[in-house]
Structure 1
Amino acid sequence: MISLPLPILNAALILGAVLIAWRVDLGNRTARNILRALFGVIVTISLVVGLRFGYGLEAVRFLQPVLALFLGPLAYMFFLSFFRPSDNRLLNIGNVHVALIPVLIINLLRLHDTWVMLDVLISLSYIFYACLIIVLWRRGPDALTQCRLQQIANMRVWMIMVAVILTILSIVDGGIAFAFWYWGEAIATMGISWAAVFGVGLTLGLIVVGMRLHGQSDKIAPKVSEVSLSLEPQVNAFLRENHRFADPNLTLDKLAKRIHIPARKISMAINHVSGMNVSQYINQMRLAHAAEMLLKSDDPVAQISEKSGFLTRSNFYREFQRVYGTTPAAYRDQARI
């Protein structure tokens, strides 16, 4: 085995990500707490693997499979918390899974030769929850009513990434379990070492990609109806009044409650009239407002970004350059020449 206990290194990297994620404001307390729990489980698993295979501490072997069973349901419930409150009943799927884990632990204390079957169960759990996350993703961006509008695109990218990671974990975990059963601990330990190398690379990659990726939402073909033609102007006027579109904490659910129109009808009206989803529609308003302020005021770009409803300066610059083909500062300078 590689002399450096890579799972320990991986745990340290993930712990660093946890400290960063701990301060991230997702605008959703439930999601934030679930994310913290998920990262905590991942860190603990990495530490357990490092202690067992890096230092030969066999006393912790019982923790690894038990903790692994929490990964799937926690990842699924994290994304589910951004959907409509009525979908909370679906949390029962994850809750039942979590509730069954203590029962499984009790049975393991009585049956010590079930580790292979437990690894199979863990692999199936990863696949099961990866599929559930894909099902959530297929509902479309406007179903994320509890997510800040400017975070929806990135959230959908993360849903795909997590589903892929769970699938990879299923394959890796299944392969290691087979190696233990067929070749013994020596070969399996080597596989764990290389899996840890992959884990370090994956952790670093996720940190970098998570900061740079900007997901592209699905394009919806416009199909105008009379109802949409009547609703869209109401929504538009409400958003423009007192610059409500610039509220960085605005979600589709909050918009629906304030305007007293069901979220689904708002989504359909905007899609039919503009060909955009709600997130893109409001983002367009924010960018137009920022462009107008750049021309009419001497306020700093950072201040204009904040007044237009953008949470981060990097996101504002990226979106502005995508739409206007230049940076905010260059846009202002060119207009004044």
Structure 2
Amino acid sequence: MIFIPLPFVVALLLLIFLAAVLRSQESSKGNWPFLALVGLCVLQSVAVGLRWGYDLAELRYLLPVLASCLPPLVLASFHSLIHFDKAEAGRAHWLHALPPIGIVALLLLAPELIDAALIVLFVGYAVAVLNLGRTGPDALDEARFDSAVAAHRALVIAAASLCLSAFFDLAILMDFEWNTGANVAFIVSNGNLLGLLLIGLTAVVAARAHAPPATGSNMIQASSMVAQDREVLDRISRLLVDQKLSRDENLTLSRLARRAGIPARQISGAVNRLAHKNVSQYINDFRIAEACRLLRDTDMSVTAAMFESGFQTKSNFNREFRRVTSLSPVSWRARNRSSRPLHI
């Protein structure tokens, strides 16, 4: 009977998710970090399966190097959902090559320190990832509004997964101290895969949130004068209603800021202070209003109204519809069309 290690099963699942993303997503340069992250999880799962399932001892030198590449790539992936100055970001990219270089140096000079170094590396990058999303979904200003909340949850889960991997590295370290490594194969080939699977899945979720790069000429520079909160909301409302910008399924906070000529942080602050909600909810209020109009005044199906108003997933549409109206779309339509005369 052919023996198939569990890591190979995890690698196959991640490959299926990766294929689904490649098939469903429009081509976007911004997605490459997430695709690379899933690919790295696949590669690491295969290496773990070969090392501990088929006892290929030579891979013991490769596994810690692959592991050290994972946290920087997680950070880079979610970094791509936040607008940064390209020159400033480019200067910092080379720093993320230091972890694998450091692990290679430890392999040559002090291999007994590798487990401790990986623990520090994973926990440190987990903190850095959480810091990216510390202000909530609005921090991911390059994510589509329709998916910003899901992307932010993926960010938190990815950070937790890095900590989970650090925990298993600690368990390996303790097992060597107490049991001379008797349980290492089980811990690595089974427990550590949970972290890889979670990281791969969060990368898939976040990749779907990344909007394609803007192709229009509406790259307006931010206004040099600070506008009052009410003026900001009035300007944003005109864009969302008069120019139907709320129906754009690829709308992001940074793209909205460029169209309005207002800094993204100023928009977020104005919405938080005056509307007492985050920007995603504020935009979705306009989308739900449009969906209600379509459900009330037309014979359009609920699904068609969902897409027409700017939503892309039924789960998000239903959740936001209930938040705004306290009813499901079907119930709302039945209640608000009951008094209309029937067309014969």
The TM-score with structure 1 as length reference comes to 0.83
Letter of the 2:260 partner, please give it: I
Instruction: Say yes or no: does 1:191 pair with 2:190.
Output: no
Deviations 1:31-60 (A, max 9, x none): x11011111111111111111111111122
Structure 1: tracts of 5 or more residues without a match: 212-224
Find the partner of 2:151 among 155, 158, 161: 155
Query: Secondary structure of 2:242's partner?
Result: helix
CA distance in 1, matches of 2:93, 2:334: 53
Instruction: Say yes or no: does 1:38 pair with 2:37.
Output: yes
Of residues 130-139 and 11-20 in structure 1, the stretch that sits farther from structure 2 once superposed is: 11-20
Q: Is the CA contact (8 Å cut-off) linking 1:27 and 1:249 kept in structure 2?
A: no
Deviations 1:203-223 (A, max 9, x none): 59958x969xxxxxxxxxxxx
Identity of aligned residues (%): 32
Deviations 1:75-100 (A, max 9, x none): 11111111122277356555313255
CA distance in 2, matches of 1:196, 1:43: 13
* Cα distance change of structure 1 residues 334 and 55 upon mapping to structure 2, 3 Å threshold: same
Query: Secondary structure of 1:242's partner?
Result: coil
CA distance in 1, matches of 2:270, 2:228: 7
Instruction: Say yes or no: does 1:319 pair with 2:320.
Output: yes
CA distance in 2, matches of 1:142, 1:192: 36
* Cα distance change of structure 1 residues 100 and 72 upon mapping to structure 2, 3 Å threshold: closer
Spell out the pairing of 1:231-310 with structure 2 (5 A cutoff).
231-310=232-311
- Would you say how many aligned residue pairs link Structure 1 and Structure 2? 316
Deviations 1:287-335 (A, max 9, x none): 0110111000011222211110112233222322333233322321222
* Cα distance change of structure 1 residues 97 and 46 upon mapping to structure 2, 3 Å threshold: same
Query: Secondary structure of 2:250's partner?
Result: coil
* Cα distance change of structure 1 residues 226 and 125 upon mapping to structure 2, 3 Å threshold: closer
CA distance in 1, matches of 2:174, 2:113: 11
How much has 1:271 moved relative to structure 2?
Answer: 1.9
* Greater fraction of residues in helix: 1
Letter of the 2:121 partner, please give it: S
Q: Is the CA contact (8 Å cut-off) linking 1:7 and 1:196 kept in structure 2?
A: no
Instruction: Say yes or no: does 1:22 pair with 2:1.
Output: no
How much has 1:278 moved relative to structure 2?
Answer: 1.5
The TM-score with structure 2 as length reference comes to 0.82
Spell out the pairing of 1:64-79 with structure 2 (5 A cutoff).
64-79=63-78
Which residue of the partner structure matches residue 136 of structure 1?
132
Structure 2: tracts of 5 or more residues without a match: 207-225, 339-344
CA distance in 2, matches of 1:63, 1:229: 57
Indicate the RMSD between aligned Cα atoms, in angstroms.
3.0
Q: Is the CA contact (8 Å cut-off) linking 1:142 and 1:267 kept in structure 2?
A: yes
